[in-house]
Amino acid sequence: MSVIAISRGSLSGATKLAHGLGARLRSRVTDREQVLAAAERYGIGDRGISAQDVLTRHAAGFWDDHDDARRHYLACFRAALLDLVLEGPLVYHGNMAHALLTGVPFVLRVRVNAPMENRVEAMMADLGLSRYETVKRIEAIDNERKRWAEFLYQEDIMNASQYDLVLNLNRVSLDDGIEMVAAAAQKKAFDRTPDAVRRVKDLRLATAAEILLLSDPDTYGLPFTISADAAAGHVEIGISLEAGSAQLVEKQVREALGELAGAGTVDVRVKIG
């Protein structure tokens, strides 16, 4: 069965939709906060990136010079998410998770939009704010989510072309939405085939290598590409550098990936040029 990635706004109904789908399809349900906690073991916080850093502490454009730190954050989050994907059927609700799963063939990408009035009433009830304060807070939350998504994924969260299905809960009830998404998820296009699972395992191995390269001071910042064949136990690193530094860089790459190769199942191949 497929993976369902639900992109949510604040108080959008995505949480209820996710848990309803989990019960309907007998799938595990997880959210951004749970995956973020799981990603700690990959060192997701080591480069100092957080929503607070990006949205509050630094002026616009600051992180443009820290693209490798962004890549490290995303690789750690992707690794934790892929661990869950490989365990079986999954419903994930968070911000733009589908952007990290572009190499996974069986992901159904869903966007949930909820009426502003419903969101306002829910927050007013929870926090005891006035209507004016509530609207301003929701607008601020939406703006922060948009900026955070644009920084991390370089995509506009509201761009409907990213999604396979967009639900407007102003026109579709939650129960009907659950049925619609469940029906779509069981289409042949989202089957978890052996070939699709193989591709996910390749992506998982390549991501593990990427994390190691972005965690090592000697290889952090190198312009590398990665391809992996998990079944064959091969990881190939491509680096565009001048020939004069090739020998040193290859040594540094192999040392950085020592933990990966140390398991005795991975053959690291380095191509420079």
| Segment 200-212, tens digit of pLDDT | 999 999 999 999 9
Cβ proximity of 214 and 220 under 8 Å: yes
Question: What is residue 178's predicted lDDT score, i.e. its pLDDT?
Answer: 95
Would you say residue 1 has pLDDT above 80? Answer: no
Diameter of the chain measured on Cα atoms:
66
| Segment 8-32, tens digit of pLDDT | 765 567 888 999 999 999 999 999 8
What's the mean per-residue pLDDT of the chain?
83
Question: What is residue 55's predicted lDDT score, i.e. its pLDDT?
Answer: 46
Would you say residue 77 has pLDDT above 70? Answer: yes
Fold of 3-190: Rossmann fold (3.40.50)
Single out the residue of 169, 80, 157 nearest to residue 118, CA to CA.
Answer: 169
- Using a pLDDT cut of 90, give the percent of the chain over it: 39
| Segment 100-135, tens digit of pLDDT | 888 899 999 999 887 777 778 778 888 888 888 888
Question: What is residue 184's predicted lDDT score, i.e. its pLDDT?
Answer: 96
Domain boundaries, the chain: 3-190, 194-272
Mean pLDDT of 227-243: 85
Question: What is residue 116's predicted lDDT score, i.e. its pLDDT?
Answer: 77
Least confident of 87-91, 94-98, 212-216: 94-98
Q: Is pTM beyond 0.75 here?
A: yes
The residue behind tokens 């934790």 is 80
Architecture of domain 194-272: 2-Layer Sandwich (3.30)
Q: Which helix (H) or strand (E) holds 93?
A: strand 90-94
Task: Copy the structure tokens of residue 68.
Answer: 């490798």
- pLDDT class for 263, splitting at 50, 70, 90? low
| Segment 42-59, tens digit of pLDDT | 998 776 665 445 444 455
Q: Three-state DSSP class for 226? A: strand
Question: What is residue 12's predicted lDDT score, i.e. its pLDDT?
Answer: 62
In sequence order, what are the residues at sequence separation of 6 or more whose Cβ sits closer than 8 angstroms to the Cβ of residue 65? Answer: none
Question: What is residue 65's predicted lDDT score, i.e. its pLDDT?
Answer: 61
In sequence order, what are the residues at sequence separation of 6 or more whose Cβ sits closer than 8 angstroms to the Cβ of residue 147? Answer: 54, 55
Would you say residue 223 has pLDDT above 80? Answer: yes
Would you say residue 6 has pLDDT above 70? Answer: yes
Question: What is residue 54's predicted lDDT score, i.e. its pLDDT?
Answer: 47
Would you say residue 199 has pLDDT above 50? Answer: yes
Single out the residue of 113, 121, 163 nearest to residue 142, CA to CA.
Answer: 113
